[in-house]
Chains A and B, each alone.
Chain A
Amino acid sequence: MANDDIRALSEELAADPTSLAFIPLGEALRRRGDLEVAMRVAMRGAERHPMRPDAHDLVARVSADRGELDRAISEWETVLQLAPSHGGARKGLGFVCFQLGRLEDAAAHLGAALAIDPDDGSLAAALQTVRHALDRQADADRATVAVRRVAATGESESAHPPRGAQYTEALATRPTIALPSDLQDPEADAGALFDDLLEGQRSAAMLLDADGLVLAGRYVAVDGRDLAADIGAQLSGVSDEASRAMRHLGLGAWRQIVFETEAASVAMAPLQEGVVLVAAARPIPLGFVRRVLERAVHRAIAWLEGSR
């Protein structure tokens, strides 16, 4: 949404504070990355319209982008109380529960969302990955039981070091999103979907859905934190702007956006309703970044199809 549109919505809201313009305005601000302002707009709107599901949905979306997951859950639960078949709330809860490691809740919400919108490919992919994660968790749980049985029968761990080591490793393994076994190493997780394409370079690749939420890939900072959600949320708005521009330029659909900054080269391509994004530290040649993007798109297509 252009600045003029945001300005017009702001003026409309200022002229009539009871207007529902706060919903597109808050969403536009969220997509633009103005999360503080978006939250203020959303909160005021939800206070004025407490019975509107979309008002609480907006608060939840902004909260999720700000990393306030508890508040996001609370708001989406309110949405479901008001509108039990609200697919966006189910989807949001699914992603947030997954981030919190609540895999069964995530699967339930994503399943419900998919039932509401069976054509949403990103939902099918997400549900599949959560189910894989649940399977892995079940395997780890079975390993725990086996270890306890061994301990209960008085067998020393040193008598079975390979199995003991294996179980310890299984227990230490945090539930992760497994990839389709026919596509990738089954031990890898969705976060590692593009790792082998990057060849150890200072770069990252992500698959984002239409809402800028990370479906696969990661962006690991120097301190080890995964910033994929933050980076994805900030940059996904560029593709929205490109789509809007293409409607007026007569060049057909956009295929690739590349931009260089002081610190990084970023390339993105559309995929279904989402986007594949590659970011690399500036010394890495732009041509390499574009090649990685093309390969990441093929990988993401195969992954999404394999998840269905």
Chain B
Amino acid sequence: MTSPFAHVTESLIRHRGVLGAMVVGLDDGLIVDSTLQIGVNGNAFAALTASLYRKARRSAKAAGFGATTFLELAAEQGRVCTAGGRELVLVVVCESRVNVGLLRVELLRAAEQLP
């Protein structure tokens, strides 16, 4: 059975440098659907990125900046990008070399389909 989000994750993982794409519950950090390359620990990325996104959302709201729509975490050995709605977020794990601008546009577009 194919989930309604399969086409979203499959589309995102086609980008050069993307290692995994997931739809994740924002409140519980659990994977709803995912397309991952072998070796990517989807559960850890889902849980921790959802937690970071929640934190950013709360902080931005408290600072008077309104709702958060996109987050990118750049690290020494890769990036994680997140965009989302109220209940679900898209989490993409990628290499440092990924085209962040293009990925951001795709993520924001895809996130519009999430509840």
- Do they bind each other? yes
Measured CB to CB, the residues of A under 8 A from B are 2-3, 32-33, 230-231, 234-235, 237-238, 241-242, 244-246, 248-264, 266, 279, 286-287
Q: Which of B52, B59, B71, B78 contacts A258 (CB 8 A)?
A: B71
Q: Are A259 and B76 in contact (CB under 8 A)?
A: no
Rounded to whole angstroms, the CA-CA distance of A301 and B70 in the bound complex is 28
Q: Which of A231, A259, A262 contacts B71 (CB 8 A)?
A: A259
Chain B contact surface mostly: mixed
What 6 pairs across the A-B complex have the smallest Cβ distances?
A252-B76, A262-B66, A251-B75, A245-B48, A259-B71, A261-B65
Rounded to whole angstroms, the CA-CA distance of A251 and B73 in the bound complex is 10
Contact size class for B?
20 to 34
Residue of A nearest to B53 (CB): A259
Residue of A nearest to B79 (CB): A251
Measured CB to CB, the residues of B under 8 A from A are 41, 44-45, 48-49, 51-52, 54-56, 58-60, 62-78, 80, 101, 104
- Would A33 and B59 be within 8 Å (CB), given that A238-B52, A241-B51, A242-B52 are in contact? yes
Rounded to whole angstroms, the CA-CA distance of A263 and B68 in the bound complex is 9
Q: What would 7 A/B residue contacts be, using CB atoms closer than 8 Å?
A: A3-B54, A32-B55, A234-B60, A251-B76, A251-B77, A257-B72, A279-B63
Q: Which of A32, A249, A256, A261 contacts B68 (CB 8 A)?
A: A261
Q: Which of A242, A244, A255, A261 contacts B60 (CB 8 A)?
A: A261
Residue of A nearest to B49 (CB): A245
- Would A259 and B66 be within 8 Å (CB), given that A2-B51, A252-B77 are in contact? no
